[in-house]
Amino acid sequence: MKTIEDLDVAGKRVFVRADLNVPLDGTTITDDGRIRAVAPTIAKLVERGARVVVASHLGRPKGAPDPQFSLAPAAVRLGEILGKNVAFATDTVGESAESTVAALGDGEVALLENLRFNTGETSKDDAERKAFAEQLAALADLYVGDGFGAVHRKHASVYDLPGLLPHAAGDLIATEVGVLKKLTEEVARPYVVVLGGAKVSDKLGVIDNLLKKADRILIGGGMAYTFLKAKGHEVGISLLQEDQIPVVLDYLKRAEATGVEFVLPVDVLVSAEFPDLKTKAPANPSLVAADAIPADQEGLDIGPKTRELYAAKLADAGTVFWNGPMGVFEHPDYANGTKAVAQALLDSDAFTVVGGGDSAAAVRILGFDENAFGHISTGGGASLEYLEGKTLPGLAALEG
Ligand code: ADP
Ligand code: MG
């Protein structure tokens, strides 16, 4: 894979596919980690006199402009981080994009509006995607792929566009891939994996590969309930993926056969209602044993015994990969499980990798020093698919 050092960028229009998909509360960015992560690549290009055209997706708009998914707040924040003005185009490939890019001088930066305001970006139809990629290509001379959080997507700006322009990987992608590669090679043991979060079906797949690699797998968050149910416990109205129970049972069986330790919650915080994340009104959860969840309640965080258990299982780790919060950390009553795992990572001497958009945001929002972790990945799905051993379209395109 070429790096930006291999490109002659001075005076050239350089398209940087970034991942500025940051969490927003209205127009306020609640965690700018992804913007900060790509800023060094952009700053380097600026320094070398490139005319930098940054593009990203944000959220899941339906192929048409939708103000709630505008990247305008990201342009302001990127400008603050770079310490220079970032021009903002109010469309992606239309008049505003054309004139904004045409107005760029050497060492100047523009951000295009959300790529997903165009159906071509995510289209499953190769021709439609290609046509959109050609429109994007018209705005640039060179391509730099640095949106690690999107490299697992076969999207126009990630997969098709690099084929149309001389291309290289940005520094963020180079770093992310370097760290993940380390996790697939010789790791310091015990290698402990912590999985949680809400995207249960997206995350079960990685266990297949991790069963061959990890020594211990700790399960929390929403996926814990599919495991508890598979073990024959009732889980009330908790997140549950019933159709995945056979898969989960197979994992448990294989883990036992190969000596991989699977650890499930022993107690959980439950409530009849999902908490109000806006008002953060007290949720008054009850604490129950993991095999005694009432029928009308849902599990929303791991309990204190589980926190202690997981901390102990992490204490002697040599390597840790953590993806997915242990509970609904956005509410203070359900943040303690996630906090405990973050603290346990910091207390261990392990090489620690945190993956997942929400997990990374959780670490920062809950007040931990992000520099104290070995690596905080900007890509959840992307890092999981890498560890699953899949070919990532955006990385394959950069290799070509
Ligand atoms: P990541 O972005 O780190 O990969 P996910 O997107 O899979 O993580 O999941 C993050 C979300 O999971 C958070 O918004 C959190 O509130 C939610 N979550 C965690 N535990 C539970 C649970 N037990 N029930 C419902 N949602 C949960
Ligand atoms: Mg997420």
Would you say the CB of residue 327 lies under 6 angstroms from ligand 1?
Answer: yes
Give the closest residue (by CA) to ligand 1 atom 16.
328
- For the chain, helix, strand, coil in percent to 5 are 45, 15, 40
The DSSP result for 346-366, as a single string, is HHS-SEEEEESHHHHHHHHHT
| Most confident option among 126-140, 345-359, 370-384 | 126-140
Confidence of residue 200 (pLDDT cuts 50, 70, 90): confident
Nearest Cα residue to 314 out of 205, 221, 219, 191: 191
For the CA of 203, the nearest atom of ligand 1: 7
For the entire predicted model, the pTM comes to 0.91
- The separation between the first and the last C-alpha atoms of the chain, rounded to the nearest angstrom, is 8
Question: Which residues does 369 contact at the CB level (< 8 Å), separation at least 6?
Answer: none
**Inter-residue contact 56 to 20 (CB < 8 Å):** yes
389 is catalytic: no
Which pLDDT score, from 0 to 100, does residue 220 have?
Answer: 98
Q: Tell me: the pLDDT tens digits for 125-169?
A: 999 999 999 999 999 999 999 999 999 999 999 999 999 999 999
Give the pLDDT of residue 201: 85
At 322 the three-state DSSP class reads strand
Q: Ligand 2 center to residue 248 CA distance, Å?
A: 21
Give per-residue pLDDT as tens, 204-237.
889 999 999 999 999 999 999 999 999 999 999 9
357, 379, 380, 394: the catalytic one is 357
- The closest residue, in CA terms, to atom 19 on ligand 1 is 327
222 CA → ligand 1 middle, Å = 6
| Candidates 196, 337, 381, 394; catalytic one | 381
> Can you tell me which atom of ligand 1 is nearest the CA of 359?
3
- What is the average pLDDT value for the chain, to the nearest integer? 96
Atom of ligand 1 nearest to the CA of 268: 23
For 257-314, the pLDDT digits (tens) are 999 999 999 999 999 999 999 999 999 999 999 999 999 999 999 999 999 999 999 9
Q: Is the peptide bond before 190 cis (omega within 30 degrees of 0)?
A: yes
User: Looking at ligand 1, which residue's alpha carbon is closest to its atom 10?
Assistant: 197
Model pLDDT, residue 33: 93
Decide the pairing of beta strands 286-289 and 267-271: antiparallel
Q: What ligand is nearest to the CA atom of residue 326? A: 1
Q: Is the CB of 339 under 6 A from ligand 1?
A: no
pLDDT of residue 48: 98
Residues with CB under 5 A from ligand 2 (ion): 357-358
Return left, alpha or beta for 53; rule: phi > 0 is left, psi -120 to 50 is alpha, else beta: beta
DSSP assignment string, 81-118: HHTS-EEE-SSSSSHHHHHHHHTPPTT-EEE-S-GGGS
Residue 198 vs residues 17, 99, 203, 239, 387: alpha-carbon distances, Å: 27, 42, 9, 8, 19
Averaged pLDDT, 33-61: 97
Burial of 252 (0-12, 13-18, 19+ CB in 10 A): middle
Confidence category of residue 400, pLDDT binned at 50, 70, 90: confident
pLDDT tier at 357, thresholds 50, 70, 90: confident
Looking at all shown ligands, the one closest to residue 356's CA atom is: 1
Token representation of residue 308: 């202690």
Which of the ligands is closest to the CA of residue 328? Answer: 1
For residue 225, give the ligand 1 atom closest to its CA: 23
Is residue 153 among the annotated active site residues? no
The secondary structure of residue 3, as a DSSP letter, is B
Q: Is position 221 annotated as part of the catalytic site?
A: no
Listing DSSP states for 123-187 in one string gives -S-HHHHHHHHHHHHTT-SEEEE--GGGTTS--IIIIIGGGGS-EEE-HHHHHHHHHHHHHHSS-
Judge whether 199 counts as a catalytic residue.
Answer: yes
- For residue 127 the two structure tokens come to 């021709």
| DSSP per-residue codes, 21-90 | ---EETTEES--HHHHHHHHHHHHHHHTT-EEEEE---S---SS--GGG-SHHHHHHHHHHHTS-EEE-S
Catalytic residue (one of 13, 34, 129, 229): 34
Q: Length of the chain in residues, anyone?
A: 400
